[in-house]
Amino acid sequence: MKKFIAKVLFFLGFFLLLIIKLSDYFIERKIDYFTFDQYKKIDKNIDIAIFGSSHAYATYDPRILEVKTGLTAFNYGSALQNTNTTEFLIKNIINENSLKLIVVDIFSESIKEIIPENNFNRNFQVNVLDNYGFSLNKIRTFKNIGEPKIINTIPLFRNHSKWKTLFTNKDYSLSEDVDYYNGFHTSFAYDEKIWKKHEAGLKKNKYKDNIRKSLNDKEKAGLKKLLTIAKTKNIPILFVCSPFFQEIRGKQTISYQKLIKDFLVENKADYIDFNEYWESLKLNKWHFVDPDHLNSKGALKVSSLLADYILKNYINVIRKEVKKVSKNNRYLIINNRNESGNIKKIEIKDSTINNKLYVERVYFYKVFSNRYEILIEGKKNELKTLNTCLEYKTQKGGVNSSVNIVKKCKWLHGYLEYENNNYLTYQVDLDLKKIKDFKIFIGPNKDKLLINIPEFTNELY
């Protein structure tokens, strides 16, 4: 009998292990999967963890927080992230890191209850939860987002009907128009087409001007849970609200945010609404991708203000000098202005180029994996837009195989203002081990700047 029971337990254990392993292949490869994969590859030494909806991931740039505070940061924001998902993530991230500060962006959509019929909202939560293993915390979170069936916490069972799509689709590919670093991601510049589409969608909401009178018990409970976790773990928690175009969002969202603020203040929570700093930050349409989300230029402004607030109000968690900040941090590279093994820096000493293109320096460096960034530094109030091209040769097969010349061109807009200079930048995916004769062209044909980068060091790979 004992042998039989042992065999049954062994079989069940093996079957469970097989299900868990197979479930990895049934996780939808979206931006949440990509960010989780990036998180897995870094050292688990995160000091500042940022949570919230798309408002969070498009606003709070870890690079600025790292450079200004000397603390490492990661942005765990995800589309329509509900407070139940935020609670789940915070618990997991706390267990893997020695957090010194939790930052949570709270938006009206974040605290609303997800009813069983709301598959649209729930699917965004599931895309995040799928990246984590089976646990009681995960089962509890699925129940809180309107999914009572335990079996649906396992991607294999929930997504088995999508097997053909999941197995034929490649891994998620990050667009080269996206500015990405440690979970933070947004567009580099304002996009009129995206703006109009998003604005039209918001205006269709017939309830957008209905004033909300109070938060319900479940909404309050969601906020209280986050406060309780932070208090239990003795980690400071800062609630924030990213700026958005309130007049387009409507009175419902404005009243909701007021109720959230009142509740947090009543519970002695630290809270910043960055909409209150609109004028001092000098925000306008060109700092946004759409009425809800900042672009890189706007995120730089708000992240700088957030970093200053942290330095002033959380001095006990701040180091005196940068110790763990990634060497691939854009703003650290600007501050240091040094060339090293992982950074190619080109000083432009041609007065014609300086005076006509306003370009003074060009940096080329690795962001992560095969993702690289070209950063062009120029005169403040002068460098605002440029045409750029990358050209390189690739060769497949042996010595006698044909050589392919690849050319990628892009107009750069949405300049960044930082440390009394203007910067134009974009990210590109390259396999440096497979290319040669790498060149960067900047500017119009008549006054074009040609930069040859003949070889790469191992640190750049």
C-alpha 134/C-alpha 157 separation (Å) is 13
For residue 306, the tally of other CB atoms under 10 A from its CB is: 25
SS3 at position 436: strand
What is residue 133's predicted lDDT score, i.e. its pLDDT? 82
Q: Give the domains, in start order, of the chain with CATH numbers.
A: 19-317 (3.40.50.1110), 330-460 (2.60.40)
Burial 336-370 (b: 16+ CB within 10 A, else e): eeeeeebbbbbebeeeebeeebbbbbbbbbbbbee
What is residue 86's predicted lDDT score, i.e. its pLDDT? 97
Q: 């605290």: which residue's tokens? A: 111
For residue 213, the tally of other CB atoms under 10 A from its CB is: 7
Q: Which of 184, 176, 174, 178 is nearest to 61 (CA)?
A: 184
DSSP annotation of 58: T
For every one of its 461 residues, what pLDDT tens digit does the chain have, with 9 covering 90 and above? Answer: 666 666 556 566 555 555 565 566 566 778 888 888 888 888 778 999 999 999 999 999 999 999 999 899 999 999 999 999 999 999 999 999 989 999 999 998 899 988 888 888 988 898 898 888 878 898 899 899 988 777 777 776 676 566 556 666 667 778 888 999 999 999 999 989 999 998 888 888 877 888 889 999 999 999 999 999 999 999 999 999 999 998 888 888 899 999 999 999 999 999 999 999 999 999 999 999 999 999 999 999 999 999 999 999 987 766 655 456 677 889 988 888 766 556 777 777 777 777 888 888 888 888 888 899 999 999 888 888 888 888 888 877 655 667 788 888 888 888 999 988 999 998 999 888 888 888 888 887 656 677 776 555 445 54
Residue 186 backbone dihedrals phi, psi, to 5 degrees? -160, 175
| Beta bridge pairs of residue 405 | 393
What is residue 401's predicted lDDT score, i.e. its pLDDT? 66
C-alpha 144/C-alpha 140 separation (Å) is 6
Q: Which of 53, 65, 48, 47 is nearest to 306 (CA)?
A: 65
* 355 Cβ contact partners less than 8 Å away, ≥ 6 residues apart: none
Do β-strands 237-241 and 101-105 pair in parallel, antiparallel, or remain unpaired? parallel
Do β-strands 270-273 and 237-241 pair in parallel, antiparallel, or remain unpaired? parallel
What is residue 340's predicted lDDT score, i.e. its pLDDT? 59
Amino acid at 189: A
For residue 314, the tally of other CB atoms under 10 A from its CB is: 17
Q: Assess contact for 214 and 257: CB atoms under 8 A.
A: no
Evaluated on CA atoms 254, 308, 50, 313, the torsion sign reads negative
What is residue 20's predicted lDDT score, i.e. its pLDDT? 60
